[in-house]
Amino acid sequence: MMDETEVRELLDRVLAPWVRALSLTPVKVDDESATLRLPFSGELRHSGGVICGQVFMAAADTAMVVAISAALGGFKPMTTVSLNISFMRAVRKGDVVITARVLRMGRNLVFGEVELTDDDGKMAVHATTTYALLN
């Protein structure tokens, strides 16, 4: 399991600067899941007034990296093999909570699921993921 400080250090160390600029913060991390908060910013919205799908994809990917790292007892090199995402509800304002769960940890592949909920607690985005562990 990773504590909040370890999660913040991981995010600072492995994320690209533009992803770090999203200011994702840990809410809860254990051996089975990681929950992060995406603080609202008007700069995350596109011209239609809703938060961009690219933001949600980056947030989902990041939360899954944290969940896998927690399950492994620390960060190990990995790469995203697939990120399948469904945008179910537009988000115009408010923080978004991202919860990533490891569904199956194999020797080389990790399968996961991510839910993003709006500030009303309604699911806005659902994703399934596959990661390859690099050794």
What residue segments make up the domains of the chain, in order of their start? 4-133
> How high is the pLDDT of residue 43?
94
Q: DSSP letter at 40?
A: -
β strands within 1-135, DSSP E? 25-29, 33-38, 78-87, 96-105, 109-117, 123-133
Q: What is the pLDDT of residue 68?
A: 97
The reported pTM is: 0.96
* Per-residue confidence in pLDDT tens, the chain, 135 aa: 788 899 999 999 999 999 999 999 999 999 989 999 999 999 999 999 999 999 999 999 999 999 999 999 999 999 999 999 999 999 999 999 999 999 999 999 999 999 999 999 999 999 999 999 997
- Tell me the C-alpha distance between 123 and 89, whole Å: 7
Nearest to 41 by CA among 87, 86, 96: 96
pLDDT score, position 135 = 78
Q: Indicate the fold that domain 4-133 takes in CATH.
A: Thiol Ester Dehydrase; Chain A (3.10.129)
- Supply the pLDDT for residue 51: 97
